């Protein structure tokens, strides 16, 4: 809902899980081989020996690196994996900024935990899935997507203090909170507007933003931008680009805390609408990760009566979300499609979502 590019800055995030899912059917095989197939890749089978996972990383298809990376990370951490068949099926749009890669990685991680390492904690599983994406896939993500995929519960938004979550022990972790988020009660819906312009976290823009944030923190003399006390402190940065990047992170952390407090109090969620819109402006102007299509989606939704709207995900493509009255959802969709047509963009895909449960075993 809010908290974009704050996770790798040790900050605050407030995600929900979506009802769209990735399913992983898994079965032990005794021959020390990993076999991966996907219903989205008919006729394409990837077979790699467990002992060869690291060596074969650059030789396997890009899509298969996510599940293979999770297996490789289990092995690297000392868990005995005898071999496994993985059959994947996904309904999360790829490249839409809706964390399809984390959904895939975490579905596989849950299955492997059940088969080979049942004592692994949720927190360890989150770190494992993140490491698989960072090291095997080469996507420099933070913990936001994996945390949402594992920890979110139905009907709630997950407030997560990334630094606190990593520092606390599992038995006494007070760095996260499930906050009720009942849109239906207030006659609201959360509309996703998929621009159809995919983004790729393994492209250079995401890594560049992360490096800029680290450079800004170093120049300000703090461990991470989460430690910048006030927006005014950002003015000490000599480089205007670093100033903009830092200003986004500092103000976005404040927005997360504000939205969490509004929802925690039981306030009408319409109150968070302007905060969502302010987040988009910050991502567009200070972090510079929006696109003309995303800006069009946000502007069209707002003009048609949405209470707030913003781009979601790492940026450079993907989707926007809009908080709308249920009675006006169709009008917002129509207005957005018209604006896209007028701008010469392909018709966006639109659908309504709500806070759902995170990864779990299907019986």
Beta-carbon contacts of 191 under 8 Å, excluding residues fewer than 6 positions away, are 301, 306, 321, 322, 323, 324, 329, 332, 333, 350, 351, 352
150 vs 131: CA distance, rounded Å? 15
145 vs 54: CA distance, rounded Å? 24
- Three-class SS of residue 116? helix
Take residue 51 and report the two structure tokens written for it.
Answer: 């002992």
38 vs 44: CA distance, rounded Å? 8
**Residue numbers annotated as active site:** 145
Q: CA gyration radius for the chain?
A: 20
The answer to whether the beta carbons of residues 185 and 270 sit under 8 Å apart is no
Residue 24 phi/psi, 5-degree rounding, is -130, 115
Query: How does strand 308-311 pair with strand 45-49?
Result: unpaired
């Amino acid at each position: 809902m809010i908290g974009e590019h704050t996770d790798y800055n040790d900050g605050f995030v407030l995600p929900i899980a979506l009802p769209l899912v990735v399913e992983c059917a898994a079965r032990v095989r005794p021959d020390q081989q990993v076999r991966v197939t996907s219903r989205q890749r008919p006729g394409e089978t990837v077979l790699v020996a467990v002992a060869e996972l690291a060596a074969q990383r650059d030789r396997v298809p890009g899509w298969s690196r996510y599940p293979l990376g999770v297996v490789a990370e289990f092995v690297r951490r000392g868990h005995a994996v005898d071999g496994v068949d993985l059959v994947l099926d996904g309904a999360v749009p790829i490249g839409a900024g809706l964390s399809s890669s984390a959904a895939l990685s975490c579905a596989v991680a849950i299955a492997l935990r059940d088969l080979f390492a049942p004592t692994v904690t949720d927190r360890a599983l989150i770190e494992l899935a993140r490491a698989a994406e960072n090291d095997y896939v080469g996507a420099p993500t933070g913990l936001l997507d994996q945390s949402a995929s594992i920890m979110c519960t139905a009907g709630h938004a997950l407030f997560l203090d990334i630094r606190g979550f990593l520092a606390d022990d599992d038995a006494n972790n007070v760095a996260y909170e499930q906050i009720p988020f009942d849109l239906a009660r207030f006659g609201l819906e959360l509309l996703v507007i998929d621009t159809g312009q995919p983004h790729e976290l393994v492209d250079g823009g995401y890594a560049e933003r992360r490096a800029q944030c680290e450079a800004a923190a170093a120049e300000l003399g703090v461990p991470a931008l989460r430690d910048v006390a006030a927006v005014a402190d950002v003015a000490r940065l000599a480089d205007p680009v670093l100033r903009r990047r830092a200003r986004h992170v500092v103000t976005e952390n404040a927005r997360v805390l504000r939205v969490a407090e509004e929802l925690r109090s039981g306030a009408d969620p319409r109150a968070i609408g302007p905060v969502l819109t302010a987040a988009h402006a910050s991502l567009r102007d200070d972090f510079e990760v929006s696109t003309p299509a995303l800006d069009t989606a946000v502007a069209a939704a707002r003009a048609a009566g949405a209470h707030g709207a913003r781009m979601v995900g790492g940026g450079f493509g993907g989707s926007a979300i809009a908080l709308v009255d249920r009675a006006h959802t169709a009008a917002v969709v129509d207005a957005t499609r018209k604006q896209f047509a007028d701008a010469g963009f392909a018709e966006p895909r639109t659908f309504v979502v709500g806070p759902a449960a995170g990864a779990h075993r299907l019986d």
